[in-house]
A and B are shown apart, each in its own frame.
Chain A
């Protein structure tokens, strides 16, 4: 009996709560096991464990270690709960009874939230960034503070809108914790009315601003307007600082809702809001000077690191409170973006969104693909890419408007009428449509993910080609038995097949080019990369030409008399500029391949023997996905070796590929006079060709005699085509 009492006593001392609120099983009690365990542990030998038969040391290693800051997201640091933090006065309402301080603190909260939001967009959890704000977590509490309340509402509504766009687009790749919003108050009743509240607040503050700016004679009329805060000297500055912040939030929310409209109908309006947002951001940035000079309280020292305009730490934030709802991700320490960086982030985001909105929703796949590649060059962040993807593919249609089959027929150069042909019900054609949608979605993802996925879908494109070809031969046989005129379906099949091949090589080309952007190739591997690029470009230009001439043929057969038909005839004999554009790159790639091979063979430079793997292995590592999909056919490591083993300067100087590239670039410039992107690209290609041509001559003339010649490759004129730099050491 004595003992039992002691057990109870020790229980009460150690665990007063769980014994009452965590019940043991029925008819049982919690008995203190500490003394027994302690004694038994002393009996154990080093490394000995007490465990059951199902114990597995390897599995036990995956146990979550409690109180380890990198594993245990539940560590109670300052407060046990949001409620406790509030009771402790961590997020008071009003923030201060002194109105000036209250306004200052509110602005700090707004600024800090901007930094939080940008940090969230950059890939941290919502719970630990934006929702580290206690005011956001308890929507009902802010009701009495209209300014803070309206701001909290629009923040929650904005987060909700962004989460929904990103999760709908499913482009978040590795950044999948972006949309984790479990347990956060994102669906608060009344948040949908945030704009009307925000408008009212904005109206009120602009009146206060007008009142304080008015000359003293007029002031009597406006006397009924209560000033924002107590100090008349600061009134204008604080009114302005608040107004730009509120307006930014308002217009940013408008941007998000406009961009969500189906079929891109809100784009024009969205652009107007984007423009306002950018100018408000500028005002926010400018307000820093005023806020900093009037800041009270502790200031952070590093100007570049400060998370608010005033440099003051905001009231009402605690990152650790929500840490545990960010599970299942391990707890991460978050380095918040600085306020300046946050503003820069939003500027970039708005510019990217503006680019999307300015796209004309061209139904031509070629134009769209070009746009996507250009868009990705600025390395847009997740939120912008998600918006783009949602715009491109809606309800399985391009822009939610053009059926995929009509996009395909157009891309394949078929006449308008083909888009209604029954062939679209063919199961492989439907699959092809899926592949196109899939490709578009992949092109909206980040570069690294995009490259991996593009490499993988190449096989699908290859398979669909083979399947369609089979279906086509079957169809052709049936048709030729029934009638003697070439049926429409045969023509559609033929042209779609050519287009699939072209598109497959386009994907392969993009795959190789992305390798340069991601810095995946070592200088010693450039030779094989350019060689592969060269063989892909041969195929790509070949298929493009076939497609274009077939499309021309169809147009003629239709008997449509064009005004400029004599001109057309003249053009027919020539190679179209789009093909020449590819050929220019092809010559560059070929020239670089031969140059690098000759350097390797004759001067023994730019060889990088790797201690880890052979050249063959590296070839496989880089091009395995292309090889698996037989892109192109009959191309392998031996064929690479064969074509580069005999490269000598004596031969390449006779046939200078760079000169050809340069010539083409010069010639076709005029054809792209209304396409600034391609014109800029052509100029870059021309520069590379010109420089390499000169470098080649120098090496040929001096190289054999002078062993001290140094040749290096640099991407000074073009991100993918290297320029050879020759130096004498």
Chain B
């Protein structure tokens, strides 16, 4: 928890330092997200469902488009329970209903790719 909070703070400091937009750090953030394109992404939303698809697009507001998506839903609210799944294809997940977002990567990659502060 603490670590997480720290991370958030670190991000905000990065952002404040790049307000002019020409900061190389900021473009490195965007380019790092760009590297995530076409990877498997797992997005959780408010009502408890998860969507697993290929990362296709994200906009400034944080709305995400996934391709070839499969919807996962647990059959009971109390966990653990078996999951039901169905294919949805191209979907748009508004940032307002997104609760989590994970990408598929190797353990080595994980550190370099996701660390916001280098």
Could you name 10 residue pairs across A and B whose Cβ atoms are closer than 8 Å? Answer: A4-B110, A9-B1, A31-B109, A37-B101, A40-B29, A50-B34, A51-B37, A60-B65, A67-B47, A74-B49
Compute how far the CA of A74 lies from the CA of B100 in the bound complex, rounded to whole angstroms.
Answer: 18
In the complex, the number of residue pairs spanning A and B with C-beta atoms less than 8 Å apart equals 222
Complex contacts, B71 vs chain A, CB 8 Å = 74
A216-273 CB contacts (< 8 Å) to partner B:
none
0/1 per residue, A9-35, Cβ < 8 Å to B? Answer: 111001111111110110111111111
Contact across chains for A14 and B58 when beta carbons are under 8 A apart: no
Compute how far the CA of A80 lies from the CA of B71 in the bound complex, rounded to whole angstroms.
Answer: 13
Compute how far the CA of A34 lies from the CA of B14 in the bound complex, rounded to whole angstroms.
Answer: 16
Q: What is the chain B residue whose CB lies nearest that of A60?
A: B65
Q: How far is the CB of B100 from chain A (nearest CB, A)?
A: 3
Contact across chains for B21 and A33 when beta carbons are under 8 A apart: no
Complex contacts, A5 vs chain B, CB 8 Å = 3
Q: Which of A27, A41, A327 gathers the greatest number of chain B CB atoms within 10 Å?
A: A41
Complex contacts, A642 vs chain B, CB 8 Å = none
Contact across chains for A3 and B3 when beta carbons are under 8 A apart: yes
Compute how far the CA of A109 lies from the CA of B37 in the bound complex, rounded to whole angstroms.
Answer: 51
A33-50 CB contacts (< 8 Å) to partner B:
33-50
A81 on the interface (CB 8 Å rule)? yes
Q: How far is the CB of B46 from chain A (nearest CB, A)?
A: 7
Complex contacts, A63 vs chain B, CB 8 Å = 65, 90-92
B67-118 CB contacts (< 8 Å) to partner A:
71-77, 79-81, 83-84, 86, 88-94, 97, 99-107, 109-111, 113-116
Q: What is the chain B residue whose CB lies nearest that of A14?
A: B100
Q: What is the chain B residue whose CB lies nearest that of A24?
A: B104
Contact across chains for B83 and A22 when beta carbons are under 8 A apart: yes
Contact across chains for B32 and A67 when beta carbons are under 8 A apart: no
A76 on the interface (CB 8 Å rule)? yes
A479 on the interface (CB 8 Å rule)? no
0/1 per residue, B3-34, Cβ < 8 Å to A? Answer: 11001100100110010010000110110111
Contact across chains for B75 and A31 when beta carbons are under 8 A apart: no
Contact across chains for B42 and A22 when beta carbons are under 8 A apart: yes
Would A83 and B3 be within 8 Å (CB), given that A31-B113, A39-B14 are in contact?
no
A373 on the interface (CB 8 Å rule)? no
Compute how far the CA of A324 lies from the CA of B47 in the bound complex, rounded to whole angstroms.
Answer: 15
A633 on the interface (CB 8 Å rule)? no
Contact across chains for B73 and A67 when beta carbons are under 8 A apart: no
Would A65 and B91 be within 8 Å (CB), given that A16-B79, A25-B40, A33-B103 are in contact?
yes
Contact of B83 among A21, A32, A43, A49 (CB under 8 A): A21
Complex contacts, A24 vs chain B, CB 8 Å = 40, 104
Compute how far the CA of A14 lies from the CA of B101 in the bound complex, rounded to whole angstroms.
Answer: 9
Complex contacts, B18 vs chain A, CB 8 Å = 43
A614 on the interface (CB 8 Å rule)? no
Would A25 and B27 be within 8 Å (CB), given that A39-B116, A45-B60, A65-B91 are in contact?
no
Compute how far the CA of A77 lies from the CA of B49 in the bound complex, rounded to whole angstroms.
Answer: 11
0/1 per residue, A484-511, Cβ < 8 Å to B? Answer: 0000000000000000000000000000
Would A39 and B57 be within 8 Å (CB), given that A9-B3, A31-B110 are in contact?
no
